[in-house]
Structures are given as C-alpha cells and as structure tokens.
Structure 1
C-alpha cells in the first residue's frame, strides 16, 4: 500500500508542478486551479500511505486524518474552480470561486478547531461527529456541484475528448459520493451509538469493508477525476500533431497539380506572409486556394466533349470517380490553356467538383483530383480513349 499511495502522490505532485510551472505564457484558464487540484490530491494520497501516516502522527497524533480531509476539500474546491473558469465569464467565475474559497477556509478552520478540541477532550465522540458533519457537508456540496456541471457540459461539448473526460470525472464524483455516504453512516453511527463502523481500525486490504469505502472509493474518485480533467489536455497536443502531419502530407501530395497550374497561371500564387509560411495550416490553405483559383482560370478551356467522355469512363457515384472526371477535364484544359486553343464547346459546371464546406473537405477533394491527375499521363480524348496531353 505504501508503494501504491506514495507512488501516486509523487506522480500527482509532478503533474501539479507541470501545470503550475511548465505551461508557459500566457497561461490557459484553469491552470492554477488544476495545479492546486493535483497538489491537493497528491497530499491526500500521501496521507493514505501507512508510512506517511506513521511518520506524521509520531509528531501530532491522528493529524493525518485532518491533512487528508483538508486536502480532499481543497481538491473538491479546485475541481469546481476549474469548471467555473472554463465555462463562465471571467467576472462571474471569480465571484463564485471567491465564495467557494471562503466556504473552504471556514470549513478547514472549523475542522482544525474541532480536531484540536477533540484531542484535548480525549477524542470525544460528539466532537468527532461535528467534525465529520462539517467535512461531509462541504465535500458533498462541492461534489454535487461539480457533478451537475460535468454532466451538463458533457452533453453540449463538441470535442470528443472533452465529453469523455467530463463523463470520466463524473464517474469519479459517483465514487466520491460513495465516500460521503460512508462518512454519513459513520456520523449516524456515532450519533445513535450503534458502532456500525469499528473505531481506530487499520486498513490491510483495499477491497474489505470498511476500507473499500474509506480508502478505495476516494482513491478511485481521485484517479477518475484527475484522468477526466487531464484527458483533454493530453489528447489535444496529440491531435494537433496528427493534424499537422496530415497537413504536411496533403501539402506535398498536392504538389504536382499545384506546380503544373502555377507554372501555366503564375498569377494565382499568393504573396508570402513572412513567419506564417512555417504554419502548416496556412501553407495548406494557401495551396488549396491557389489550386482552386488556377482551376477557375481554366474554366473557358474546359472541354464539354472531354467531360462527357470522362463521365462514360468513370463512375461518378463515388468521390474517386468524380475526382477522376475532374482531373481529366483539368488536364486537357491545362494543355489547351498552354497552347491558347479554346474547345469547340465549354463544359458546363460539374456537380461533383462543387465547393466543399470547409478547408479539410476542400483538401480531401483536391487530394483525390491530384491523385487521379498524377496517376495517368494522358487525359480522356473526345472518343473516350486515353490520349497524351502533356504536363
């Protein structure tokens, strides 16, 4: 158990330092609250370890319980603060967070005072009951507060990682409520004198009662809430790296079509944008715009005969077939533009080559066109047979 709890404490402490010191500037909303959350959970995990508990209680008897409970309240407050900062206006978030901090300070001071008095009164059961009542009242309030927000936000969020993260954190809140119910049972037991929970019992197993409620449930709550809140932050850089890789691959794949078009119509090339030239999103968007503009310039040179011949050859019910038709028409139009020969009849607008809804859709369409354009050295002749048209 020492290895599990102290290991998790060290891991959470390292994560807290990363959020507090390693996020760079400007710091995103919720950075400090997330650092406080992870730091509080690190202290709570450490207080569960028998080695830490024995060491600290050698100085102040039974103080590990107070540290663990205060850390749990601080973590619950930090969870709510993160939710406020990410989903409310800054002024409203600050107002609500200040109120929660005042309640936290009052609860921590009250618990400390009751703890000291309990030790002076030889561990009075009534004083301990008041201590537990104060602790579970604020903890339950904070957990329910965050649970309702997490469920509500998970339904409206567009990011998949955020929805999964919020639902994972909501699952952690359920385990936290199990712990609150356990503490409420302890309180009722003390008040009625039933002794439902043995006093002063040490946990030797994480799956045996009452340890499954007093230790395992809050530990699972910590893990799920931390995982749920950090999952979007972990997934985001991975998704960004994946997006940049796709952008660069798409940029390169469009190269052959872009070079032929810009060689014939150099006026479609946009002016450089300085430092933005290193942004993969900007580079790809500019290449897509330049190719689209080049294809528009070729409109008078698009042959109706070539288009009809290509329609007979390729299946336009699929995106690949439609792209092959467009590639054949563009290739012949580019050759005609180079020689200055207009077709006998210009091709009408091809429905399969219409504009897409966004940059990614435009890029994916042009990638299909560029693939078909580069795959065949010739265009489609009027009779439907391949015929070299040159590059």
Structure 2
C-alpha cells in the first residue's frame, strides 16, 4: 500500500505535465502523507526507527495521518473554491496541524521520560483525535455537498467513495476516543499497546483495518476522476471521428448542391484542423445550414407525397431532403412553401451531442434510402 501511494504521489507531482490542475501539490502531499503513515506500520521500518527512538513509529504515523487529513482539506478547498478563498480557508487547518504535531511531539517526549505514563498518553491521544475528527468532519461535509452539485459522474462517484472513507475514519476516531476514555478512567477496556495478529479481530479491526479502508477509499475517490478523464476523452474522440465520417455522404451532397454552406478554411490553424471536436461541430453547422437552405425547395405537395409513400419520421425527412436536393440541382424552387417543420429544423436543441445524434439518424437513413418521391419532383420539374 505504501509503495502504491508513493507511486501515485509521484505521478501527481511529476507526471501530470503542464498546466497542472488545481490541487496538484495538495494531492501529492496527501498521497505522500498516507504513504508515510503506512510505512510506519511495516515491521522493517518500525524496527529500524525504534532501535534509535523507542515507540517513535507511532508518532510518525499519527503525524503523517494529520498531515494527510490537512491535505484532504486542501484538495477540497482548491477544487471547490476560488484560489484566494482556498488559500484563506487552509490557513487555520495548517496552524492547527503545526500546533497539534508540536504538542504531540512534546507529549511523546514527556511520555518517554515518565516511562509511558497513561495520563500523558491520554493527553497525546486527545490532541491527535481532536484535530483528526475536525478535519474528517469538515471534509465529509464538503464531499457530500459537492457530490450533489457536480455534473461529472466520475467526480460524483469519487466524492461519495471519499465520503465512505471518512465514515471508516470516524470509526477509527471513535476507537481512539474509547482508548482515551479507558485510559482516563482506568477501565482497561482495550489492552495497552496490543499487537495485531488479524485484521478482522478486535481491536485491530478498529485500529488498523478501519484507517486502511479509509485511506484506500479516500485516495481512490480523489484519484478516480483523474483516471477516468483520459478514458472518457478517448471514447469521446472516437465517437467524434466516427460521427464525422458517418455524416460525410449527407454533407457531400448538400455541399455539392450548395457550396456556400461550407465555412471558410483559410483561417484554420494546424491544431484546429486536427481537432475532432472542432471538425464535428463544423460539419454539424454546415449540414444544418444546408437543410435550412433547402427550405425554399420544400413544397407542400412533395411533403404530402412523402407522407403517403414513406413511414413517418426520419425516413420521411430523408425523402423530403432528397426531393429538395433534386429541385436545387434543377434550379426550380417550390411554388408553394411547406414551412420549416418539414425538416424538423425548428426543434434543434443546441447541444452538440444531441444535434449530432439527430443528424446521424438522418444520415443513416440517407444512404440506403431510395427517393420514392423523385417521380413527383421530376414531373413538376419537366
């Protein structure tokens, strides 16, 4: 777990490229702090540091946990607030973190000097758990509030996972409060400094498993949007390229009949010319302009003929468009205007995906469709 978290921290800090998203350094500090907290659990590291200072692994682990909790708040502030407001809001947690770590270090030193006094250890726990609970509750409140307002599904799921991690962190905090009460009242509810042999047995399920799940869910929740984003972008790019190609036959016929609908390409730079989103929007605009330009050629008689000879819906509109294109090529506008409803141009939604899907249905039927109303148009043209 420590190695995975350290690798993730390196990815966020060194492998994100430029420009870096908001909260990059806070996210790196979060993952690095959690990595240090988990390293302190490893027997190899624990034995090495405690050979120099007895029981110091506990202080390192608790300090790293508080630093990670502060980093979680920093990430939330930088993502949800304006930069100036985020910097202002993070000052108080940073001051409290510095005070807490300094106080814990002093109490830890005094505890070692007094041969691990239970009263001093209780004060140490009180300082640790107070700040931890403050940070957890603050982040949980922000995560739940932000998950209700975000529009990205990956962000919403990630925030809910992080909120679930906060619940496990609160379980760990409740366990520490129980230890604190037991020490303060001398109840001996929990064995003093017991070693864990199983992750599902008490008290290890509260002291080790709960914080481990909390770290896993919080890190996964905050990292999920960054992992999903390139995947969603790749899927979007593939859909844009396929849609652009699928609209090709319809666009070619419209632009061949009405070259004026083609937007000028002289001002396009290299990036825009290779941008699938830009090219698709351009093609959708040109097709819609072409359909609008067909309106003078949509006679009511052709519209009624299409209704009699084709099924209502997309295929009918395709037949109308083909009949209008035949009139455009022949240079004969309709004598009796049928109105814009014939091609469904009045119901355009303005959203690129919705507009593209509408045109794709027309383009899909346009290829194999036969111009069933062409004899009517041909007789009128003669």
TM-score normalised to the size of structure 2? 0.94
**In the TM superposition, what whole-angstrom CA distance separates every residue of 1:311-359 from its partner, at most 9, and x where no partner exists?**
234443xxxxx22122111111111111112334332222644312311
What does residue 320 of structure 2 align with? Answer: 329
Give the unaligned 5+ runs of structure 2: none
**Residue pair 2:295, 2:339 contacting (<8 A) in 1 also:** no
| 2:40 alignment partner, SS class | helix
What does residue 280 of structure 1 align with? Answer: 276
| 1:206 alignment partner, SS class | coil
Which deviates more from structure 2 when the two are superposed, residues 79-88 or residues 53-62? 53-62
The 5 Å alignment of 1:4-15 reads 8-15=1-8
What does residue 182 of structure 2 align with? Answer: 189
- 1:81 deviation in Å? 0.7
| Structure 2 residue corresponding to 1:347, chosen from 334, 338, 344 | 338
The 5 Å alignment of 1:62-73 reads 62-73=55-66
**In the TM superposition, what whole-angstrom CA distance separates every residue of 1:168-201 from its partner, at most 9, and x where no partner exists?**
1111001000000100111111000111111121
1:114 matched to 2:110: no
Q: Distance in 1 between matches of 2:56 and 2:282?
A: 63
**Residue pair 1:309, 1:382 contacting (<8 A) in 2 also:** no
**In the TM superposition, what whole-angstrom CA distance separates every residue of 1:31-74 from its partner, at most 9, and x where no partner exists?**
11000111111111122222322222222211111111011101
- 1:379 deviation in Å? 4.1
| 1:308 alignment partner, SS class | helix
Q: Distance in 1 between matches of 2:311 and 2:112?
A: 84
| 2:3 alignment partner, SS class | helix
**Residue pair 2:315, 2:369 contacting (<8 A) in 1 also:** no
Which deviates more from structure 2 when the two are superposed, residues 355-364 or residues 16-25? 355-364
What does residue 304 of structure 2 align with? Answer: 308
What does residue 286 of structure 2 align with? Answer: 290
- 1:28 deviation in Å? 1.0
What does residue 29 of structure 1 align with? Answer: 22
- 1:159 deviation in Å? 1.5
Rate the CA distance shift 1:383–1:270 in 2: closer, same or farther, 3 A: closer
TM-score normalised to the size of structure 1? 0.92
1:252 matched to 2:248: no
1:148 matched to 2:144: no
- 1:309 deviation in Å? 2.2
Rate the CA distance shift 1:313–1:165 in 2: closer, same or farther, 3 A: farther
Q: Distance in 1 between matches of 2:198 and 2:276?
A: 53
- 1:234 deviation in Å? 1.3
What does residue 56 of structure 1 align with? Answer: 49
What does residue 204 of structure 1 align with? Answer: 197
Rate the CA distance shift 1:192–1:289 in 2: closer, same or farther, 3 A: same
What does residue 229 of structure 2 align with? Answer: 236
**In the TM superposition, what whole-angstrom CA distance separates every residue of 1:289-322 from its partner, at most 9, and x where no partner exists?**
1111112222111232222222234443xxxxx2
Which deviates more from structure 2 when the two are superposed, residues 341-350 or residues 222-231? 341-350
| 1:209 alignment partner, SS class | coil
What does residue 96 of structure 1 align with? Answer: 89
What does residue 225 of structure 1 align with? Answer: 218
| Structure 1 residue corresponding to 2:349, chosen from 348, 356, 377 | 356
The 5 Å alignment of 1:78-93 reads 78-93=71-86
Which deviates more from structure 2 when the two are superposed, residues 231-240 or residues 304-313? 304-313
**In the TM superposition, what whole-angstrom CA distance separates every residue of 1:79-122 from its partner, at most 9, and x where no partner exists?**
11111111112111101112211111111111111111111111
**Residue pair 1:165, 1:227 contacting (<8 A) in 2 also:** yes
Rate the CA distance shift 1:194–1:313 in 2: closer, same or farther, 3 A: farther
Aligned length: 374
**Residue pair 1:19, 1:35 contacting (<8 A) in 2 also:** yes
- 1:77 deviation in Å? 0.4
**Residue pair 2:319, 2:370 contacting (<8 A) in 1 also:** no
Give the unaligned 5+ runs of structure 1: 1-7, 317-321
Rate the CA distance shift 1:380–1:58 in 2: closer, same or farther, 3 A: farther
Q: Distance in 1 between matches of 2:333 and 2:21?
A: 57
User: Considering only aligned residues, what root-mean-square deviation do their CA atoms show, in Å?
Assistant: 1.7
